[in-house]
A and B are shown apart, each in its own frame.
Chain A
Amino acid sequence: MRRAWLIALREYRQVVATRGFWMLLLVVPIVIAGSVAATQVLESPTRSSAFVVVDPANIVAPVIDRRLATTGRAGDFVRAPPPVDAPLNSGPEAFGAVIQRHFGLPVGPGAKSAPLALALWVPNDLANGKRARIWASPSADPGLVRIVRAAAGRAERLAALRTAGLSPSDAERIESLQPQVTTGSNAVAPPRESLVLRSVLPLALVYLLLVAAMTTGSMMLQGLIEERSNKLLEAVLACVRPEELMLGKLLGLGAVGLTILAVWVACAAAAVQALHGPAAEMAAAALQPLREPWMAPALLAYFVSGYLIVSTVFLAIGSMSDTMQDAQAYLVPALMAIMAPVVVMMDAVIVDPEAAIVRAMTWIPPYAPFAMLARLGGGVSPVEVIGSGILMIGFIWLELFLLGRVFRASLLGVGQPSPLQAVRRLIGGRRAA
């Protein structure tokens, strides 16, 4: 086992020293950082903007200020005094005609000045049927428009209720009425949106598993072929058993896969922390499955199992190939056999996590880690977890056993034609020597 660890350590160091590893490692964090930045940019005003409120009775302006503060957007906008040329005593039409000419121009005091985007006119006496007026520039932030409109509307409704004879307290009570909302889920039939959100993390892990296993599998393949073509194997095999070499490679590349996963998950967690607003709520919902104590170990177990299953295929191909050209002949069908059903299954699981194809793949060991990862967010019965788990472990054991035999037969046939060459010679009608 000590020699297997030494091989694993060397494999790990060799892969970590390559540019390809760092590109792979950084590509997801870069994409995540880009997404977070894009979300922040989309959710924030492109620049600070100003708005003007003409509210002689000071009824609406404090409400707007409060709402901006409670939504965390007070710093995005400047409430500026009306421009000096705006007529305040000539009615809303005259005010509106002048104020619209100031849209886009800086208003406000000194350093706090910002382009004017919106103006609100609140008449002196809303109770007499007079209405508030809002002028908004095309570039006005929708959030600001929504807040100003809600505040003005509330003031208008309160005034209307008082005009109808209600006391101010009754008017306030009626205006404050809202339906009671209870947040929860029906355990029997959870809403589809909830299921989709809960499946985001497991599905993302399926994608990560595919990318990590394929990429590091390719690195492993290249390493093994390099050892064969550089005539290294004979010297190595004089010191270690083929099974130790195989195990060391699996451990080393497994460590590479887990490193990649750890970095990606850490970056994703940091991104969730950095998010706020609706995106943060969605991310929190997507991470909800992790609150269940068994979920994280289950995700890790299925990830490692899937990684082992795919890596073993690459290792077997590498052990039978003398060159990358040889390997290509095996790789294409092998990759198709792995990827095509997984891609179909992932499409199906988004539409219906209980679809027949998804349930069927749960019981086919090579695809079980992918199917189970994809289904974990939506809930899987214990029978399926235990049953498919036993099959999967049995399959991995069988795969490692067979790989050991292939490894021994292929690697110990040093100096002999590779199995692929032997097949070609047979097809060509010549005897494989």
Chain B
Amino acid sequence: MAVLTFEAVVKRFGAFTAVDSLSFEVPEGGVFGFLGANGAGKTTSLRMALDILRPTAGRIEVLGRAPGREQAPMIGFLPEERGLYRQMSVAGVISYFGRLKGLSGAAASSAATELVERLDLGEWVRKPVASLSKGMSQKVQLATALVNAPRLLLLDEPFSGLDPVNQAMLEDLVRDAAAGGATVVFSTHVMAHAERLCDRLLLLSAGKSVFQGTVGEARNLLPARLRVTARGAPDRLAGVVRAAAVRTQADGWTDYEVALAPGADPGDVLEACTANGFPLRAFQVERASLHEVFLHLVGGQSGVAA
């Protein structure tokens, strides 16, 4: 079952088209990455999923229904631009958002207490949000998204502004949420996070989908590179487009950088070497990174981080 469905969704702001005929489905469970450069339409798409913005055209379904606040009890949302009620206590603000999402007072308080402990904010529980550091405020904000144990967790650029330690902590929380049965959808322009976390991903460019699939499928879009150490040039093997000598060693072995034809499997090349008695000392496969795939798909548009 899909927890989030976009069908030919368009969103225009005046003459500017932020999202253009976007269609995709997010299956239940796992982590779904919403990737794209700044201005690609990620945030606009998430806002439409939450009914904060209405699409100009197309159809959206969230948890089996049209977007609306009825689904709020089942959704957790961490916006890109974050802020909290500065005068409220840490426990108070988490509990408040829990109650807005339909929890009873007791359940919201209990969930807030549990989250505060889990996020190492125990000693700050009664302190006003204004007294927290930026990192701790981010944790509290994340807690407001998790307080209702959501079925669908939408995180808009969740790693921005976090130091490496807190980024790692957040990655763990995303994995925990997914392991607990939630479907996590997060947007990012940092490919490394997507590569580490996502089961499936959607690449957006200028409001349009340029790729949907698993991380492996995305990386297979670009031919793999081989590093081979052999006695002779492997340029005549099937699937090999080009082999460039990098360094020749004293004992006669030479390092080659081998470019494969699109779709060629490195395993087939290795098998051909064995079958043809082509001597090898080293055979190393280097697959394209998500960053390279993205740059390849988006072309000259940048704005992504590796």
**Residues of chain A whose beta carbon lies under 8 Å from any beta carbon of chain B:** 3, 6-7, 10, 14, 17, 226-227, 229-232, 234-241, 244, 412, 414-416, 433
Interface residues of B in 119-168 (CB under 8 A from A): 141, 144-145
CB of B154 to closest CB in A, whole Å: 8
Choice from B13, B14, B53, B144 contacting A235 with Cβ under 8 Å: B144
**Residues of chain B whose beta carbon lies under 8 Å from any beta carbon of chain A:** 13-14, 16, 43, 47, 50, 52-53, 69, 72, 75, 77-79, 81-88, 96-97, 99-101, 141, 144-145
Q: Check A14–B87 contact: CB distance below 8 A.
A: yes
Q: Check A412–B72 contact: CB distance below 8 A.
A: no
Interface centre among A227, A229, A232 (most CB of B within 10 A): A232
A230-B52 contact given A10-B96, A236-B100, CB 8 Å threshold: no
Q: Please give, as numbers and ranges, the residues of chain A lying within 8 Å of B50 by CB-CB distance.
A: 237-238
- Separation of A3 and B16 alpha carbons in the complex (Å): 34
Q: Check A240–B100 contact: CB distance below 8 A.
A: yes
CB of B190 to closest CB in A, whole Å: 20
Interface centre among B13, B75, B78, B100 (most CB of A within 10 A): B100
Q: Check A232–B83 contact: CB distance below 8 A.
A: yes
Q: Please give, as numbers and ranges, the residues of chain A lying within 8 Å of B84 by CB-CB distance.
A: 230, 232
Choice from A7, A231, A237, A240 contacting B83 with Cβ under 8 Å: A231
- Separation of A230 and B72 alpha carbons in the complex (Å): 22
Q: Check B47–A239 contact: CB distance below 8 A.
A: no
Q: Check B79–A235 contact: CB distance below 8 A.
A: yes
CB of A335 to closest CB in B, whole Å: 26
- Separation of A253 and B86 alpha carbons in the complex (Å): 19
Q: Please give, as numbers and ranges, the residues of chain A lying within 8 Å of B75 by CB-CB distance.
A: 238
Q: Please give, as numbers and ranges, the residues of chain B lying within 8 Å of A231 by CB-CB distance.
A: 79, 81-83
Q: Check B96–A6 contact: CB distance below 8 A.
A: yes
Nearest CB in chain B to that of A241: its residue = B69
Q: Check B100–A232 contact: CB distance below 8 A.
A: no
26 A-B pairs with CB atoms under 8 Å apart are A7-B100, A226-B86, A227-B83, A230-B85, A231-B81, A232-B85, A234-B47, A234-B81, A235-B77, A235-B78, A235-B82, A236-B100, A238-B52, A238-B77, A239-B97, A239-B100, A239-B101, A240-B69, A240-B100, A244-B69, A414-B52, A414-B81, A415-B43, A415-B81, A416-B13, A433-B13
| Chain A to chain B: the 5 pairs with minimum beta-carbon distance, closest first | A230-B83, A231-B81, A231-B83, A239-B100, A234-B79
Q: Please give, as numbers and ranges, the residues of chain B lying within 8 Å of A240 by CB-CB distance.
A: 69, 72, 100
CB of A235 to closest CB in B, whole Å: 5
Q: Check A235–B47 contact: CB distance below 8 A.
A: no
Nearest CB in chain B to that of A248: its residue = B100
A239-B79 contact given A234-B47, A414-B52, A415-B43, CB 8 Å threshold: no
CB of B305 to closest CB in A, whole Å: 21
Q: Check A238–B79 contact: CB distance below 8 A.
A: yes
- Separation of A226 and B87 alpha carbons in the complex (Å): 11
- Separation of A244 and B68 alpha carbons in the complex (Å): 13
Q: Please give, as numbers and ranges, the residues of chain B lying within 8 Å of A414 by CB-CB distance.
A: 47, 52, 81
Q: Check B81–A238 contact: CB distance below 8 A.
A: no
CB of B61 to closest CB in A, whole Å: 17
Q: Please give, as numbers and ranges, the residues of chain A lying within 8 Å of B77 by CB-CB distance.
A: 234-235, 238
Q: Check A412–B83 contact: CB distance below 8 A.
A: no
- Separation of A414 and B53 alpha carbons in the complex (Å): 9
CB of A220 to closest CB in B, whole Å: 15
- Separation of A138 and B74 alpha carbons in the complex (Å): 84
Q: Please give, as numbers and ranges, the residues of chain B lying within 8 Å of A238 by CB-CB distance.
A: 50, 52, 72, 75, 77, 79
- Separation of A244 and B16 alpha carbons in the complex (Å): 30
Q: Please give, as numbers and ranges, the residues of chain B lying within 8 Å of A235 by CB-CB distance.
A: 77-79, 82-83, 97, 141, 144-145
Nearest CB in chain B to that of A234: its residue = B79
Nearest CB in chain A to that of B79: its residue = A234
Q: Please give, as numbers and ranges, the residues of chain B lying within 8 Å of A241 by CB-CB distance.
A: 69
- Separation of A433 and B39 alpha carbons in the complex (Å): 13
